[in-house]
Amino acid sequence: MDKNAEITLSRDTSATIIPAGDEHILKAGTVVSISQALGGSVTVRTDAGLYRISGKDLDALGAAVEQELQAAGDSEQQASDNEPFSEEQVWNAMKTCFDPEIPVNVVDLGLIYDLQASPSASAEEQHDLKIKMTLTAQGCGMGPVIADDVKKSVEALSTVSEAQVEIVWDPPWTPHMISDEGRKTLGIE
């Protein structure tokens, strides 16, 4: 997909302003270009700035673009419903979540600080999760959006009953927390 290509929205579309995190309606006819399409959502650039469009609204970008983005998203899915619970499965699910401004998943960005799993009291053979994560900047309004992405991604696993995602600030995040894989993606060594 040509990220410089201009796309005209076919309908009014709910979007999240980046980095403020506020909901906004992009009007039909707004011209956008895709700057990032990862984790089932799309970051678009307009004359007014950056916006995140969720996967449920990809149709506003046109049928061809929607199909291409959905096909790319399908290839990102790695968890199998037939597998027993494992923390690796949870980590892989979290790797499908991305900061809308940085093309690196939240795990490789070093945003996930802690994962605790315990057998669920409400559902046999399922687990409850407690996840501590941080953000690259304390003032980022996208925090609740990214945390909700993490929650939804792990709760989509058939072996997870419930997930609590807490945003913490200690220790403060630094670029040194980016994994080797994340550094390769960003072109920093």
Look at residue 130 and tell me if it is in a domain. yes
Both 113 and 172 in a single domain? Answer: yes
Both 94 and 181 in a single domain? Answer: yes
Query: For residue range 3-31, what is the model confidence (pLDDT) as tens digits?
Result: 678 999 999 999 999 999 999 999 999 99
Amino acid 78: pLDDT: 46
The number of distinct structural domains making up the chain is: 2
Query: For residue range 91-142, what is the model confidence (pLDDT) as tens digits?
Result: 999 999 999 999 999 999 999 999 999 999 988 889 999 999 999 999 889 9
CATH number at residue 26: 2.30.30
Both 50 and 122 in a single domain? Answer: no
- Which among 76, 100, 128 is the end of a domain? 76
Query: For residue range 39-91, what is the model confidence (pLDDT) as tens digits?
Result: 889 999 999 999 999 989 999 999 888 888 777 665 445 445 568 899 999 99
Report the length, in residues, of the chain.
Answer: 189
